[in-house]
Chains A and B, each alone.
Chain A
């Protein structure tokens, strides 16, 4: 294992320290319990948005703390959900009297820890569950679709609404609505190595790819020989379109998300392939985002996320944001 590490037990805390030093104008980090919060408290009465999840997905979620998005983020151990004491401490630190909205990716661990935090917390709170991964069949008999790269869109949209004065219930409703407009699917070319484990989570041949991976280096639904980018884009876009069923000439946000080990050059190539595929399906690209936003450590691969746009979502997507990982309009 070759990584920038001093001691394996200090990886998370040292990384959080560096993060707070690099972005001290936007955020600050609290250790024990760990959470990241805005440097400046948002205005009184504003709904406070808190997300969290395992570490190793940076910039998700800490990179989205700041004006126009999250009030706080709770990083767990690598690929391990945060614990309720983190969410409770973060809630108490950022509460403005507008209530707390938790944004949670649908994984059993995250769900249970946020659930317990929500039950224990003495502040009015609601939860938006993100489950955009179409690789997982949605059925009443499974844990259901995972929350993956679409989460940042939900965080951006609700973040903007909260900034504009939406109530807790309105934020929750907008979050649920936005989640329904988003679908994602990813493929991996390599696995990744959790520092504490010291070896890759799964083995994969040099000519193989894992289709329908999540964001924790867990295996996907099936394994195939690696294909041309156009063919990969077609498989992913077709599965997503089948799920979202956009209207003829509908406008969408196309987000190509790298898992951490794939160069931007390839991500833009994949954007090109996905754009061609959308054109064939008579779907228009209204907004776009390309980059490593929801990563799995050093995993090579990418996911495609499509979000159907309506007036509300476009308005809140375009509004000003100032975080470590997303910044425009200010």
Chain B
């Protein structure tokens, strides 16, 4: 993986967002305040406007630059949280292109850890962490298994993301905007969790079709 590919993946995520915007928007209006999709789209647009500059950077520097760009363009809780994800990944990524899937898993896990520290949420709080933590744990576990075909690994990560996303439906929120609704948030999938599942699906789908 190099910086160009990181940009390519963000473009894939942007396309997936365009296609699924109304679904996330509905969830966010039901238990949030309806600004998540608008904010995420603004963040991705700002990054893609810097495509040329970012592509020329080393992976670690590109990830850091993306983090700072998201931090100043998304706003809301999603800004600091997604920025933390990229800062965490940048910490592990070095200056060389990344070829090893163990390295990618380590980067992802480092990103998720920073998101966790910033948002102070755990599994079961009805947030994006209900998707990110289990997917990160499974990813770290699966890369240790030799001979697991790439597409099987990606499929299992997608299944785990979907399971985590669906698990947010029947719990009351204890963190974030939805927590103000108390029991009324039950029965609605968390928009942040849905958002993360969508991103993971877009990335895995793309990678499955790559050599």
Seen from chain A, the residues whose Cβ lies within 8 Å of a Cβ on chain B are 33, 54, 76-86, 107-109, 112-113, 115-116, 135-137, 141-143, 146, 194, 196-197, 201-202, 214, 216-222
> What's the Cα separation between A135 and B180 when bound, in Å?
8
Chain A residue nearest in CB terms to B180? A136
A196 near B177 with CB under 8 A, answer no
Residues on the A chain within 8 Å of B73, using CB: 83
**Which of B33-41, B101-109, B143-151 forms part of the interface with chain A?**
B33-41
Q: CB-CB < 8 A to A83: which residues of B?
A: 71-75, 79
Interface pair B71/A194, CB less than 8 Å apart = no
Give the distance in Å from the alpha carbon of A143 to the alpha carbon of B178 in the complex: 9
Q: List 5 A-B contacts (CB under 8 A).
A: A77-B35, A196-B38, A202-B29, A217-B34, A219-B31
Residues of chain B within 8 A of A197, CB atoms compared = 25, 34-35, 38
B25, B39, B81: which has the most chain A beta carbons within 10 Å? B39
Contact A219 B72 (CB under 8 A): no
Contact: B76 with A84, CB < 8 Å? no
Q: Do the beta carbons of A201 and B81 come within 8 Å of each other?
A: no
- In the A-B complex, the 3 residue pairs with the closest CB atoms: A112-B80, A109-B77, A109-B76
In the bound complex, how far is the Cα of B118 from the Cα of A51, in angstroms? 21
Q: Are B76's CB and A201's CB within 8 A?
A: no
Min distance, Cβ A6 to any Cβ of chain B, angstroms: 18
Interchain CB contact under 8 A, A218 and B72? no
Bound-state CA distance A235–B77 (Å) is: 32
A221→B80 contact, CB < 8 A: no
Alpha-carbon distance A2/B49, docked complex (angstroms): 31
Residues of B within 8 A of A194 (CB): 34-35, 38
In the complex, whether B176 has a CB less than 8 A from a CB of chain A is yes
Q: A112-B119, A202-B29 are in contact. Are A221 and B79 (CB under 8 A)?
A: no
B42 contacts across to A, CB distance below 8 A? 77
* Interface residues of A, dominant DSSP: loop
Give per-residue flags for B69-103: 1 if the beta carbon is below 8 A from chain A beta carbons, else 0: 00111111111110100000000000000000000
Contact B174 A218 (CB under 8 A): no
A110 to chain B, nearest CB (A): 9
**A contact residues around B25 at 8 Å (CB):** 197
Taken together as a complex, chains A and B put the C-alpha atoms of A146 and B118 apart, in Å, by: 19
Q: B34 contacts A214, CB within 8 Å?
A: no
Given contacts A79-B33, A80-B76, A81-B76, contact A108 B71 (CB under 8 A): no
Chain B interfacial positions (CB closer than 8 Å to A): 25, 29, 31-35, 38-39, 42, 71-81, 83, 118-119, 174-177, 179-182, 184
Given contacts A80-B38, A143-B176, 5 further A-B contacts (CB under 8 A): A77-B35, A84-B72, A85-B72, A112-B80, A113-B75
Minimum CB distance partner of B181 in chain A: A219
Given known A142-B179, A221-B182, contact A109–B72 (CB-CB < 8 A): no
A7 vs chain B, min Cβ distance (A):
15
B121 nearest CB neighbor, chain A only: A108
Contacts of A201 in B (CB 8 A): 29, 33-34
B residues less than 8 Å from A218 (CB atoms): 32-33, 177, 180
Tell whether A112 pairs with B81 under 8 Å between CB atoms, given A83-B73, A137-B182, A202-B29.
Answer: yes
CA distance A220 to B118 in the complex (A): 26
Assembly CA distance A44 to B66 (angstroms): 38
Q: Which residues of A contact B75 (CB under 8 A)?
A: 54, 76-77, 80-83, 109, 113
Are the C-beta atoms of A214 and B180 separated by less than 8 Å?
yes
In Å, the complex CA distance between A107 and B72 comes to 18
Q: How far is the CA of A142 from the CA of B38 in the complex (A)?
A: 26
Closest B residue to A146 using CB positions = B180
Contact of A107 among B39, B81, B83, B177 (CB under 8 A): B177
Query: Could you say which of A33, A112, A221 contacts B77, with CB atoms under 8 Å apart?
Result: A112
- B77 / chain A contacts, CB cutoff of 8 Å: 81, 107-109, 112
Q: Which of A109, A112, A141, A214 contacts B174 (CB 8 A)?
A: A141
